[in-house]
Amino acid sequence: MSAEKKTLLITGGSRGIGAAICRQANRAGYRVAVNYVSNQAAADVLVAELKAAGGDAFAVKGDVGNEADVIAMFEAVDRVFGQLDAFVNNAGIVDLKARVDEMSAERLERMMRINVVGSFLCAREAVKRVSTRHGGKGGAIVNISSAAARLGSPGEYVDYAASKGAIDTLTIGLAREVALEGIRVNAVSPGIIETEIHASGGQPDRVTRMQDMLPMKRAGTADEVASAVLYLLSDAASYITGAILNVSGGR
């Protein structure tokens, strides 16, 4: 799955699944642009790690829920690397556990702005650079969805689940839209994965609490998700587009 000298931008790349994707992409030979929204220290540490391993990487700040930030982020990749070959729509949020009848409009608007509108804006900018229609050389996009899109997350995060349902639809529609423009678009749909996202949703014990209910009796790892992403980005997946690959341990 060598991708020597290809360029990859990953949103939300400084921690969790995003950081695991960055590390595996670095080992595969990609030049890696690591997007972060606020934790510059974590992004800088990761970039230093990638460079120490012989890679070419840089960190770029940007809030995917802000159109000006999205445009500036992609323009930074243009300046530093001169091209874009692959893109991973990874950045996203989850809010505190709540029922739908407890959710405010502010919460819902923030969720959809970052997880849905942000993903669309980033996909738009990626297509403008990668599509043969726009003078690009073709490439691949992978969106990070969630098993929540299928399961609904009742009593916890129905808004998050709905936002990931939109990512599944984006994946299918965009894949068909750009299939003749040299771009493959797929999604990875993780289940319960050991990352910081559970703590940010106010449930740091969620993995421990749920693992006995999982078919494999364990949570997945960020590296297991990253491996699926790298496969879909690679030439080994050359006839795969519009697919949603479950990485959920059978859940």
160 is catalytic: yes
Q: For residues 33 and 21, what is the distance between their CA atoms, to the nearest angstrom?
A: 11
d(CA 147, CA 23): 24
8 contacts: CB under 8 Å, gap ≥ 6: 25, 30, 31, 32, 33, 85, 86, 87, 88, 233
Going by the DSSP 8-state scheme, the letter that residue 40 receives in this structure is H
Amino acid at 250: G
Tokens of 189: 């749909």
> Which residue out of 30, 36, 160, 239 is catalytically annotated?
160
What phi, psi does 77 have (nearest 5°)? -65, -40
Neighbours of 188 (CB within 10 A): 27
Residues labelled catalytic? 160
